[in-house]
Amino acid sequence: MAQHSRTSETETTPNNGCNSGLTRRNYVQSIAAVAAAATTLGAAGTAAGQSDYERIDAEGQTITIESGDTWENKLIDMTTGQDIVITAQGSDWTIRNIGFTGKNTSGTGSATFGISDSGGESSIENVYLGDGTDERNGSSSGHGQTAFWVNPDHAGHIDFQNVNIQNFADNAIYGSAPGTGGGGTLHIDSCFAANCYVSHFRVATEGSKITNSSVLVDDEGYQGRGIWAWAPGTIEVDNCQIEMNGQNTAIDAGANGSATEVVVSDSDYDEEAGIAENAGSTVELGDSVGTDPEAVIPDGVPTDAEAAASGSSD
């Protein structure tokens, strides 16, 4: 079994208290700020029609996806300098083929996606958020722009597949809040996250897992944790590459004084960044776990906004 190395001394703000109730401060503020401009799915645009995708300019609007809706083939233009918030609620909705072009420089510190499923199964597929955000509110407070924030009321299941998130000033997938709320699960599969602040994949609930995915931290952006597991767990990590280049912590288990368990198989993590076991947490490493990670973008993950919007991975 691979040995646990010493936890890296490079730390980031732990966001204490952000995991209970509706406490994603910036998400709530953003919703309040744009409520007057809120746009439902039907008003925001229908199917792509004769084009490969529909282009939407970020103008401070909210787009709301309801039960059974499919929102697909959209190219979101962030070069306007303004924000956009996409909320998905109810159950059995689908988000797919969405690309964001340009860095988010709105400075709102919101969550680009605020999502939950009330008891069914929803999915997020083929999304590109690789152009990142600016640094406002990110480097010291830990309340910068989040890519995906999972509402604590989430009680169903959400699949993430072929998602590319890079250079966000807050968490890439902030999915730990249901651990103190609805108890819903997440499956992050064939996804790539790089150079985000606080953490890249953050989950909490029994049945949640991260598979076939990569995390990269280098000298190109923020240096958040690789995987951050909150209580209650158990969290499964399988066939993942966690390349931290000595920054922060590769797998961080436990937070806010509560323990969790992480079970890792067929994966590699950065030994210098190491593993942290907090508040009595345990990280169980299988015999096939190594310390020579190579964080490549998984097959099928889009590498630019137009490829995502058109449903292509090229």
**How many other CB atoms sit within 10 Å of the CB of residue 304?**
16
Over the Cα atoms of the chain, what is R_g?
18
Look at residue 312 in the predicted model and tell me its pLDDT. Answer: 79
The Cα angle at residue 116 between residues 113 and 118, in degrees rounded to 5: 160
Residue 165 near residue 129, CB atoms below 8 Å: yes
**How many angstroms separate the Cα of 148 from the Cα of each of 1, 8, 10, 168?**
34, 26, 24, 10
| 38 closest CA partner among 73, 65, 69, 71 | 65
Region class of 33: left (phi > 0), else alpha (psi between -120 and 50), else beta: alpha
List the chain domain ranges.
25-309
Residues in CB range of 43: below 8 A, 6 or more apart: none
pLDDT score of 176 = 98
| Ramachandran quadrant class, 135 (left: phi over 0; alpha: psi -120 to 50; beta: rest) | alpha
Per-residue pLDDT at 314: 57
Output the pLDDT for position 19: 42
Q: How many CA atoms, within 13 angstroms, populate the side-chain half-sphere of residue 58?
A: 22
Q: Which two tokens stand for residue 284?
A: 């169980």
pLDDT lower than 70: segments of the chain: 1-51, 137-143, 313-314
Q: Residue 98: which of 313, 311, 298, 314 has the closest Cα?
A: 311
The pLDDT, as a whole number, for residue 1 is 34
Report the DSSP beta bridge partners of residue 128.
99, 164
